[in-house]
Amino acid sequence: MKNFKESLLSVLAGIVLSLIITSLLGESPITIIKTMYYSVFSSFDQLSYVLFYTTPLIFTGLSVAVAFHAGLFNIGSEGQLYIGSLFTTFFSLTFLNLPSFFAITGAILFAFLGGGLWAAIAGFLKAKRGSHEVIVTIMLNFISYAVCGYFILGAFKNPHSQNPESAEIGLQYHLHRFSGDAPLNAAIFLAIFCAILTWLLLYKTNWGFEVRLIGSSLETARRSGINIKRRLIEAMFLSGGLAGLVGVHEILGHAYKFKDQFSNGLGFVGIAVALLARNKPLMVLFSALLFGALSKSALDLELDTEKITRDMALIIQGLIILFVAASQRRKNAS
């Protein structure tokens, strides 16, 4: 509860400070608040856009949170979501005659598998050789960009396009959309389902008990008979798998093809999402919603005001993270 209050305060402080900055730039804070409010709440369509931006952040937020519970800092969600997308693209372009249910189920499993295996490499190296996961996942990010580019421009290439993107997936793979205009799709249910499942796994199962023990008291875990190496690899697999599901949202729900470099940092924003949610899976839902709303309203700020650009969202995000980090620091000190 106290954590929740602190997170809320951090958000408020971030927004207030940003408003002060914008008034220094000569935009009235009231205009900005109005614009942001309308951008998010004025119609069902607007709200759908917000939820559309929220969905991938839920996946990446959960991804970072899970790894964190095992004491691992997974900076590689970005790369894992690309490999997940690659796997799901591969599945969709390979099995062309499946009925929709099996097609989508298979594509989801492949997205999870792809991201999971990619992250498990870092988990494996950590468990067997002690290689630091931060370094390994950062490096794997770069490799993933190259690997995806290779396939998109090669085996999966769209022959009718000059853009760096894969061929389109079949209609049976398309996820349900909720309104004509907004790209909000059924992947959001998958995201909410994953949040609940992650929460159950971490807090209600023996697996989660052991993983959390490893994360917060490694030496006790080592002396208690827990199979640490295995748990670390499994936790990384789950973490990467969740990131990989961004591919479901993007490929099956939004673009219907793999556009090179589509993510543009979703995996890194996931770190902020998890931080604000204090790694609590259910809180990730709300924290992702906030970041989704920020992304959406920043776009409208750019359109509707003269002096503010979409970087406003980045500034607010940055300030929020700063305040969250500051409040945690204080607790550690006391």
Partner 1 sequence: MREVSKSYAGFNANKKVNFNLKHGSIHAIAGENGAGKSTLMKVLFGLTKPNSGEILINGEKKSFKSPLEAIASGIGMVQQHFALSGVISALENIILGAEPQKFGFINHKEALTQLTQIAKDNLNVPWERETNSLPIGEHQRIEILKLLFRKAKILILDEPTGVLTPKEVKRFFELLKNLKAQGHSIVIITHKLDEIFELCDEVTVLRRGQVTGHFKVSSITKDDLVQAMIGRRLKNLPKEKSFAQNDAPSVLKVQNLLVSKPGRGKLSGISFQIKPGEILGVAGVEGNGQQTLVEALLELEKYSGQIFFESKNTKNLNVRRDLNYGLISEDRHHQSLWLDESVANNSVIGLSSRFLKNCFLNFKAVSEFSEKVLKKYDVSMQNVQQKVSGLSGGNQQKVIIAREIDGRAPKLLIASQPTRGVDVGAIESIHESIISLAQNGSGILLISSELEEICKLSDRVIVLRNGEISAEFMGPQYDTQKIGEAMV
Which one, 160 or 223, has the nearer CB to partner 1?
223
Under 8 Å between Cβ of 72 and 232: yes
Of 184-213, which residues contact partner 1 (CB under 8 A)?
A: 200, 204-206, 209-210, 213
Under 8 Å between Cβ of 246 and 59: yes
Which one, 43 or 220, has the nearer CB to partner 1?
220
Binding mask 221-250 for partner 1 (x = CB under 8 A): -xxxxxx-----------------------
**Which residues partner with 185 through β-bridges?**
177
> Terminal CA-to-CA distance of the chain, rounded, Å?
18
The minimum distance between CB 271 and partner 1, in angstroms, equals 22
Q: Is 306 helix (H, G, I), strand (E, B) or coil?
A: coil
The minimum distance between CB 44 and partner 1, in angstroms, equals 38
The minimum distance between CB 252 and partner 1, in angstroms, equals 28
Which one, 157 or 212, has the nearer CB to partner 1?
212
Judged by CB under 8 A, the number of residues near partner 1 is 17
**How many residues in total does the chain contain?**
334
The minimum distance between CB 128 and partner 1, in angstroms, equals 15
Give me the DSSP letters along 101-143: HHHHHHHHHHHHHHHHHHHHHHHHHHHHH---HHHHHHHHHHH
The minimum distance between CB 224 and partner 1, in angstroms, equals 3
Q: Which residues of 141-160 are buried (b: 16+ CB within 10 A; e: fewer)?
A: beebeebbeebbeeebebee
Q: Is 217 in the site for partner 1 (CB under 8 A)?
A: yes
Which one, 99 or 130, has the nearer CB to partner 1?
130
| Type of residue at 239 | S
**Which residues partner with 177 through β-bridges?**
185
Under 8 Å between Cβ of 283 and 74: no
Contacting residue, 220, 261, 326, 330, with partner 1 by CB under 8 A:
220
Which one, 329 or 331, has the nearer CB to partner 1?
331
The minimum distance between CB 116 and partner 1, in angstroms, equals 19
**What does the binding site for partner 1 look like in residue numbers (CB under 8 A)?**
200, 204-206, 209-210, 213, 216-217, 219-220, 222-227
